[in-house]
Amino acid sequence: MSKFFEIARTDEIAPGKAKMVEVEGRKIALFNLEGSYWAIDDTCPHRGGPLSEGEVEREVVTCPWHGSEFNIKTGEVLIPPARAGVKSYKVQVEGSTIMIEV
């Protein structure tokens, strides 16, 4: 059964930036896209690069290790070398509290 976890506050992540959070033993990259928040697994399936440390441009994050690109909203892989996407998570904001469903 899934449930929501409080993971951050809105003032912790500037627009166009990301933050890695850990929830239930999972590393998750949380992104601020112009005031909307999105979450995907933080680990690139190619070689384990930290997606939260990648460059963000619009809805795309580039893995800092080998350049794979992922859609921040869906987790879909857009450009290899990664061959698979990553899990995306439902995000909910209440006031200044950001929560994700795991």
Q: Which of 73, 56, 57 is nearest to 19 (CA)?
A: 56
**Torsion-angle region of residue 25: left (phi > 0), alpha (psi -120 to 50) or beta?**
left
Q: Which amino acid is at 88?
A: S
How many folded domains does the chain comprise?
A: 1
Q: Give the list of residues 6+ apart from residue 1 with CB closer than 8 angstroms, or none.
A: none
**CATH number of the domain where residue 36 is located:** 2.102.10.10
57-77: burial string, b at 16+ Cβ within 10 Å, e else = eeeebbbebebbbbbbeebeb
Residue 32 has pLDDT above 80, yes or no: yes
Provide the domain limits for residue 43: 4-101
Average pLDDT over residues 22-37: 97
- Using 50, 70 and 90 to split pLDDT, how confident is the model at 44? very high
Could you report the per-residue pLDDT of 59-102, keeping only the tens digit for each?
A: 999 999 999 999 999 999 999 999 999 999 999 999 999 999 99
